[in-house]
Amino acid sequence: QVRLVESGGGLVQPGGSLRLSCAASGRTFSNYAMGWFRQAPGKERDFVACIMWSGTRTYYADSVKGRFTTSRDNAKNTVYLQMNSLKPEDTAVYYCAAVRDFPVVAAAGYEYWGQGTQVTVSP
């Protein structure tokens, strides 16, 4: 079992930045690739980014490429999502998730999920 807890969400103006964190506990964190997803009201849960267990490879959705960066610190059992140049369409609940393979873009492929953190981009 892997327990994931996201933090760092909030309200930000368009063009601003936020950094989300996802703290893991339980089974060995470094055995898992980590993904980020987001879900806006009335929409499906969409892939945002993922990072290999070693942190040496990442993969991004086209909608966030060049604006978002994911990283991880295995010593701290934490994965991060740095979000820059935020747009109103980035507004959603953001989730982190754990999976053994990389890259995995389908939400159904992930084993463990956090509870989510709200990100709102508005003037």
Q: What is the DSSP string of 63-112?
A: TTTTTEEEEEETTTTEEEEEE-S--GGG-EEEEEEEESSSS---GGG-SE
pLDDT tens digits along 35-67: 999 999 999 999 999 999 999 999 999 999 999
Lookup: tokens for 30: 């470094």
The pLDDT value given to residue 39: 98
For the cut 80, the answer to whether the pLDDT of residue 20 exceeds it is: yes
Choose among 78, 82, 89: nearest CA to 114.
78
Would you place residue 27 in the very low, low, confident or very high pLDDT band (cuts 50, 70, 90)? confident
Average confidence score pLDDT of the chain: 96
Pairing status of strand 117-121 against strand 10-12: parallel
The pLDDT value given to residue 26: 80
CA distance 39 to 114: 13
CA distance 63 to 120: 17
The pLDDT value given to residue 72: 97
